[in-house]
């Protein structure tokens, strides 16, 4: 089968190009060609999107703005192959092709975001308002990013630098009806004689969300604040930037406890519509400073990035002012890379990147020990343009050192001292074939690598945000994956198709499961285990433009994730997203109006199929039934005397007010309702979102 597939691919690439040339000019087709020329961060470094053998998709700020979401990952999770692990409406963690947590690397401001992402209730500390675009890399990208990039990478890029002599900004406001969310953002940026700056301040506040089964969900309120300032200098030799960032998230923790007689959710707050914290709750602070320099050389360019991050995470359980758990994480990031100019079709790059970390317990409750970590990785890549082929590949070596400090509590050993050394060799090889001007076929083979995180190695304590007691094992081995991807991209005047199939085998896969033991009363006990896993699946999307103004799109994504050599109740990996079929229709009303311009109306249907592949042992997971969500939206620019003065949009999410539980909703496993027989807390009901942006300058 594999030989036939490769032979067919080779024969297809050997065929001559069609003699018809480009089709008639249409916006859709040329947008497709334009996108293919975009430079992306692929499996082997910077390259044109059309040349990358790795599945990559791009979301622009405008597309994100037209989606309904309560946080940044919530918006991205609507893409094929992407899902989210949620805790209420304020915290979301990305999942790519069934893999999440420390198997996904998030890159922001050029460095990997480090905010103790091993935890279920730890979100991504990024202000969505400052994101200019998102690159989604699906599959192992350890070659460029080292350990943890086994499942994929989310690369968040800021707004583009303004042209010389320009000063612009905007004021943004948003309101959501379901949870009373109101948010705003102010931005001002400029470029004067090569000196650039970009400043932004954002806030967001929400009270409890509601659905038809639970009513208002106590303690699901949250607030978010963010500030960033970026300055830079652009010259003929290149550019240098310095950015400072501050992010603060204060989410209350939903415990899902119910009255034993009425079945109603219990709350310490009489006013469920309050925006103030309830107990328990978290305070999360993330500080960042990043320096980036880009230097033009006669033979290519040199890029140097250095960053410092500090993440402070406090949990308040019994008192509004006295924390129990307090984790403080310090991270130093570094990245140096050289990329050559193209020479006779060849392009080379080499680099060194890694980080140093120190994590401290500053509270009187403990889940993980204090630890110090250092890692470094060196890599080299090469790509070659050969007729209608683009070949690429590379190798990388990683080393990681981790030292955990022991702790005695009340005369008993809570954590043991231990030191671990990890190393790994990864790489990838891929080919992209331009069969015709309209058809690209891609094949990629990549080896991924991930060291166990501190939670998997050493957890021993109550995880308040996850409502469970967790136990780690410091003898775990590193994970290794081998993934094959086959993709096809096709575009004509009225039609566009993107499809990809993948198979991913992971050795020493680490997973968390429930065990039949009680260490702490009223808490489930979970332990980490290690086994062999196999993930297979595909994504396919079709976009049709029967007329210039009408867009019809549909996408389907599916992943099957198995634990090999396990009994029936343990054969499926925990936290695997359900299959999803999405359809959206968009009609562009006008592009040349005198008052209303770029006006559109759109509808979206998301059908989540039943997920009956779940880890059933000890009731770790349960089956999730299918459900269908309908959304509508309208939007327009407002002009006065030919000048845009505002952007308006209204989005209705879950129009029919369906009561559902996403399979990756952690609140699905909260208390039973003795009256209705339902378990857990349900997702948000109908929500209407109003957005207004007023440009400045």
Region 590-612 average pLDDT: 93
Cα separation, 247 vs 285, in Å, equals: 6
Q: What is the mean pLDDT of the chain?
A: 89
Region 580-603 average pLDDT: 93
CB distance 120 to 93 below 8 Å: yes
- The set of residues, in sequence order, having a beta carbon less than 8 Å from that of 311 and lying 6+ positions away, is 114, 115, 116, 125, 284, 285, 286, 287, 327, 328, 329, 331
Torsion, Cα of 666, 672, 675, 678 (10° steps): 50
- List pLDDT tens digits, range 124-150: 899 999 999 999 999 888 888 999 998
Q: Which has the minimum average pLDDT: 40-44, 49-53, 214-218, 626-630?
A: 40-44
Shortest CA distance to 253 belongs to which of 463, 101, 100, 83?
Answer: 463
| pTM, full prediction | 0.91
Q: Provide the 8-state DSSP code for 239.
A: E
The encoded tokens of residue 250 equal 């204060």
Each domain of the chain, given as residue ranges in start order, spans 2-696
- Whether the link from the prior residue into 246 is cis, omega within 30° of 0, is no
Sorting pLDDT into bands at 50, 70 and 90, what band is 466?
low
Q: What's the pLDDT at 465?
A: 60
Question: So what CATH class is 2-696?
Answer: mainly beta
- List pLDDT tens digits, range 67-124: 888 888 988 998 999 999 988 777 889 999 999 888 999 999 999 999 888 877 778 8
- List pLDDT tens digits, range 480-490: 999 999 999 99
Phi, psi of 184 (to 5 degrees): -155, 160
Q: Which contiguous run of DSSP H or E holds residue 349? A: strand 346-361
Shortest CA distance to 422 belongs to which of 459, 470, 457?
Answer: 457
Q: Which has the minimum average pLDDT: 29-33, 200-204, 511-515?
A: 29-33
């Amino acid at each position: 089968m594999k030989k036939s597939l490769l032979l067919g691919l080779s024969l297809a690439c050997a065929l001559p190009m069609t003699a018809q040339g480009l089709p008639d000019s249409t916006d859709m087709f040329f947008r497709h060609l334009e996108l293919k020329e975009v430079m992306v961060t692929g499996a082997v470094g910077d390259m044109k999107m059309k040349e990358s053998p790795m599945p990559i998709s791009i979301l622009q700020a405008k597309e994100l703005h037209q989606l309904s979401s309560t946080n940044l990952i919530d918006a991205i999770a609507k893409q094929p192959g992407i899902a989210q692990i949620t805790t209420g409406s304020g915290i979301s963690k990305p999942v790519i092709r069934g893999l999440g947590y420390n198997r996904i690397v998030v890159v922001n401001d050029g460095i990997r975001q480090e905010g103790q992402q091993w935890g279920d209730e730890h979100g991504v500390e990024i202000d969505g308002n400052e994101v200019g675009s998102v690159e989604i890399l699906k599959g192992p990208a350890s070659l460029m990013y080292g350990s943890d990039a086994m499942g994929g990478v989310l690369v968040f890029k800021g707004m583009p630098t303004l042209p010389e002599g320009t000063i612009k900004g905007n004021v943004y406001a948003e309101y959501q009806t379901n949870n009373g969310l109101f948010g705003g953002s102010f931005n001002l940026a400029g470029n004067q004689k090569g000196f650039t700056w970009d400043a932004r301040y954002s806030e967001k506040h929400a009270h409890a969300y509601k659905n038809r089964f639970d009513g208002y969900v106590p303690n699901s309120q949250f607030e978010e604040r963010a500030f960033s300032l970026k300055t830079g200098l652009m010259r003929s030799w290149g550019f240098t930037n310095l950015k400072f960032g501050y992010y603060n998230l204060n989410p209350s923790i939903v415990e899902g406890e119910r009255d034993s007689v009425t079945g109603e959710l219990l709350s310490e707050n009489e006013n469920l519509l309050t925006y103030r914290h309830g107990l328990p709750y978290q305070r999360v602070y993330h500080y960042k400073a990043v320096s980036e320099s880009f230097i033009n050389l006669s033979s290519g360019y040199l890029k140097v990035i250095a960053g410092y991050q500090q993440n402070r995470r406090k949990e308040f359980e019994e008192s509004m002012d006295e924390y129990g758990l307090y984790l403080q994480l310090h991270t130093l990031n570094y990245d140096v890379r050289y990329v050559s100019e193209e020479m006779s079709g060849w392009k080379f790059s080499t680099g060194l990147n890694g980080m140093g970390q120190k994590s401290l317990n500053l509270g009187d409750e403990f889940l993980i020990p204090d630890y110090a970590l250092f890692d470094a990785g060196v890599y080299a890549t090469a790509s070659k343009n050969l007729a209608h082929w683009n070949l690429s590949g590379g190798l990388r070596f990683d080393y990681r050192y981790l030292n955990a400090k022991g702790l005695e509590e009340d005369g008993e050993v809570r954590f043991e001292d231990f030191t671990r050394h990890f190393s790994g060799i990864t790489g990838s090889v891929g080919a992209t074939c331009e069969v015709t001007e309209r058809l690209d076929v891609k094949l990629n083979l990549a080896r991924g690598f991930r060291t166990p995180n501190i939670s998997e190695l050493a957890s021993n304590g109550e995880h308040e945000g996850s409502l469970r007691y967790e136990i780690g094992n410091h003898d775990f081995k590193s994970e290794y994956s081998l993934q094959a991807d086959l993709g096809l991209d096709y575009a004509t005047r009225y039609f566009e198709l993107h499809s990809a199939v993948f198979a991913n085998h992971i050795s020493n896969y680490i997973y968390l499961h429930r065990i039949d033991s009680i260490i702490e009363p009223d808490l489930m006990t979970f332990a980490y285990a290690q086994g062999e896993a196999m993930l297979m699946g595909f994504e396919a999307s079709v976009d049709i433009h029967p007329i210039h103004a009408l867009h019809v799109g549909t996408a389907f994504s599916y992943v099957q994730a198995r634990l090999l050599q396990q009994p029936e109740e343990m054969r499926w990996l925990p936290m695997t997203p359900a299959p999803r079929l999405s359809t959206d229709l968009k009609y562009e009303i006008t592009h040349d109006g005198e008052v209303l311009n770029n006006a559109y109306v759109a509808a979206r249907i998301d059908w989540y199929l039943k997920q009956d592949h779940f880890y059933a042992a000890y009731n770790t997971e349960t089956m999730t039934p299918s459900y269908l969500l309908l959304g509508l939206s309208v939007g327009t620019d407002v002009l006065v005397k030919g000048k845009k003065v505002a952007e308006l949009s209204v989005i209705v999410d879950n129009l029919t007010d369906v009561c559902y539980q996403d399979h990756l909703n952690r609140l699905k496993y909260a208390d039973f309702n003795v009256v209705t027989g339902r378990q857990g807390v349900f997702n948000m009901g109908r929500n209407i979102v109003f957005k207004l942006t007023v440009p400045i300058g």
